């Protein structure tokens, strides 16, 4: 199979030029102007942007959580991702406390194998670090290609590890060549505030927000950066939401420490007024919660400054019926919201078209940096000869309205219902195959491939 994309404006993290791209099988084989090569299929991309397929390194598909499962499985989640221009996702395997990493990996493979439409990989979430877990780290990296280890500094009794386990894990992961990532919020402080609000009869979703003030995140981010500095492990903070947490990472840079920072699209475009809607606010109950306008501004600035490298989603959808589990108690609302399909177009419309970030920065934070940080570059994350042909053709002028009625995520609401945005991912190519064209899915369940990742190397 060969495919020729003609006349597109190719944007990578570094370049911006008009050229043709010739693809043979799953790889890009030639890039040049006026290519005169016979191809099985030709796409005219005149007046369109041609960008690397999006990579969302933070999603939760078919995840058992808070007494239920996230409502997108590998098929619906990765196909919705494709519709929105994301060709690869990284999901999280969650170790069950008391059990091994391998038993969790096998459980996750049972749900994902043969079911994905788009490409995917796993982070391993270590929720119980002990001698057995320690002995599995090397094989995770070398045999499984799972090179990043997620930790939770919150969700005590289910997912949280203490600082002793954190430092032990960091030392082992450093030794084996991996990276440690974290959900950086102070679980004990949050549990105290949740109990306090409940004892005062304050049970609405607003108190989810008020139980996780900015300090719970900035304290944990600082502590994590200090422990990473002490151990020397490559470190990454997931879903950062707040200016003060980011300021601690800016401070860490002063001692020449690099802590990678991810934020998520919702923290860039929404503010805490979403918690003023009574129980409807359950739609935006996620952890950490949506914050203030000043935090949005701080995160956009952090992106431009290079202190925030990745924009992900923490896609973790639940149906409205599932959200109702917490109708009488905010602490029982399953945490999470849908976004896997909206990330690229929102970032383009709200970021690029509103002059907050450049086109190159858009590509960098939606694809290239995730590929580099998580050991997949240049196979993924760029448009270059020899790279996987994961390509999005984006019409920068097409306007459309976000709605649960038309989205492809298995979720009966949208966090952005009625938002009018400009810019549409029209044609999505995954490993040389047209996977979505003009709102039609052209590949099947099972086309998505598990991508083994490399050890951490300086990016």
Which residues contact ligand DUC (rule: CB under 6 A)? 60, 183, 286-287, 314, 316, 335-336
Q: Is residue 183 close enough to count as binding Zn ion by CB under 5 A?
A: yes
Output the smallest distance, CB 316 to ligand DUC, in A. Answer: 4
CB 401 within 8 A of CB 420: yes
Cis peptide before 288 (omega within 30 of 0): yes
- Tell me if 86 sits within 8 A of 343, measured CB to CB: yes
Question: From residue 275, how far is each of 204, 205, 286 by CA, in Å?
Answer: 9, 7, 11
Which range, of 120-128, 179-187, 240-248, 373-381, touches Zn ion by CB under 5 A? Answer: 179-187
Q: Are 86 and 55 in contact (CB under 8 A)?
A: yes
Q: Is 38 left (phi over 0), alpha (psi -120 to 50) or beta?
A: beta
How many other C-beta atoms lie within 10 A of the C-beta of residue 317? 28
Nearest approach, Cβ of residue 358 and ligand DUC (Å): 30
Of 125 and 179, the one with the shorter C-beta distance to ligand DUC is: 125
Cα separation, 257 vs 259, in Å, equals: 6
Nearer to ligand DUC, 54 or 187 (CB): 187
Among ligand DUC, Zn ion, none, partner that 336 touches (CB below 5 to 8 angstroms by kind): ligand DUC
Residue of 56, 75, 314, 390 interacting with Zn ion (CB under 5 A): 314
* DSSP 8-state secondary structure symbol assigned to residue 367: I
Nearer to Zn ion, 20 or 314 (CB): 314
Q: Which does residue 335 touch among ligand DUC, Zn ion, none (CB within 5 to 8 A, set by kind)?
A: ligand DUC
SS (H, E, C) 409-434: CCCCCCCCCCCEEEEEEEEEEECCEE
Binder of residue 87, out of Zn ion, ligand DUC, none (CB less than 5 to 8 A by kind): none
Is residue 62 within the footprint of Zn ion (CB under 5 A)? no
Torsion, Cα 89 95 96 97, to 10 degrees, reads -140
Give 174 or 183: the residue with its C-beta nearer to Zn ion. 183
Q: Minimum distance from CB of 335 to Zn ion (Å)?
A: 8
CB of 87 to Zn ion, least distance (A): 20
| Contact status: 9 vs Zn ion (CB under 5 A) | no
Minimum CB–partner distance for residue 159 and ligand DUC (Å): 8
Residue 213 CB, shortest distance to Zn ion, in Å, is 17
> Which one of Zn ion, ligand DUC, none interacts with residue 218, CB within 5 to 8 A by kind?
none
Q: List the beta bridge partners of residue 16.
A: 11
Contact residues for Zn ion (CB under 5 A)? 183, 314
């Amino acid at each position: 199979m060969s495919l020729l994309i003609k006349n597109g404006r190719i944007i990578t993290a570094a370049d911006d030029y008009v050229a043709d791209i010739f693809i043979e099988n799953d790889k890009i084989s030639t890039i040049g102007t006026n290519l005169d090569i016979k191809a099985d299929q030709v796409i005219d991309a005149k007046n369109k942007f041609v960008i690397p397929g999006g990579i969302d390194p933070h999603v939760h598909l078919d995840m058992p959580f808070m007494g239920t499962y996230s409502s997108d499985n590998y098929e619906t989640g990765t196909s919705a991702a494709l519709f929105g221009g994301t060709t690869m996702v990284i999901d999280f395997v969650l170790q069950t406390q008391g059990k091994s990493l391998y038993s969790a990996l096998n459980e996750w493979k049972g749900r994902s194998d043969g079911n994905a439409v788009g490409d995917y990989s796993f982070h391993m979430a270590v929720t119980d670090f002990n001698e057995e877990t320690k002995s599995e780290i090397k094989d995770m990296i070398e045999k499984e290609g799972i090179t990043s280890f997620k930790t939770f500094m919150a969700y005590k009794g289910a997912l949280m590890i203490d600082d002793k386990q954190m430092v032990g894990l960091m030392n082992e992961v450093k030794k084996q060549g991996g990276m440690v990532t974290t959900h950086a919020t102070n679980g004990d402080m949050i549990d105290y505030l949740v109990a306090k609000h409940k004892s005062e009869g304050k049970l609405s979703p607003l108190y989810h927000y008020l139980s996780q003030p900015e300090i719970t995140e900035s304290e944990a981010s600082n502590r994590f950066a200090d422990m990473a500095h002490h151990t020397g492990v490559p470190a990454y903070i997931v879903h950062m939401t707040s200016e003060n947490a980011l300021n601690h990472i800016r401070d860490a840079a002063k001692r020449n420490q690099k802590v990678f920072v991810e934020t998520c699209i919702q923290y860039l475009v929404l503010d805490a007024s979403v918690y003023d809607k009574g129980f409807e606010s359950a739609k935006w109950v996620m952890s950490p919660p949506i914050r203030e306008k000043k935090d949005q501004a701080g995160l956009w600035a952090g992106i431009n400054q290079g202190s925030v490298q990745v924009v992900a989603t923490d896609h973790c959808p639940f149906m409205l019926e599932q959200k109702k589990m917490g109708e009488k108690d905010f602490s029982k609302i399953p945490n999470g919201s849908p976004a896997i399909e909206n990330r690229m177009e929102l970032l383009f419309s709200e970021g690029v078209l509103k002059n907050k970030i450049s086109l190159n920065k858009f590509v960098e934070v939606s694809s290239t940096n995730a590929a580099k940080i998580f050991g997949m570059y240049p196979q993924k994350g760029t448009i270059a000869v020899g790279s996987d042909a994961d390509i999005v053709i984006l019409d920068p002028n097409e306007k459309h309205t976000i709605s649960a009625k038309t989205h492809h995520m298995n979720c009966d609401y949208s966090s952005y219902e009625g938002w009018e945005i400009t810019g549409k991912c029209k044609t999505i190519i995954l490993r040389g195959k047209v996977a979505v064209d003009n709102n039609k899915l052209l590949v099947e369940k099972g086309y998505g491939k598990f991508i083994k990742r490399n050890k951490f190397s300086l990016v």
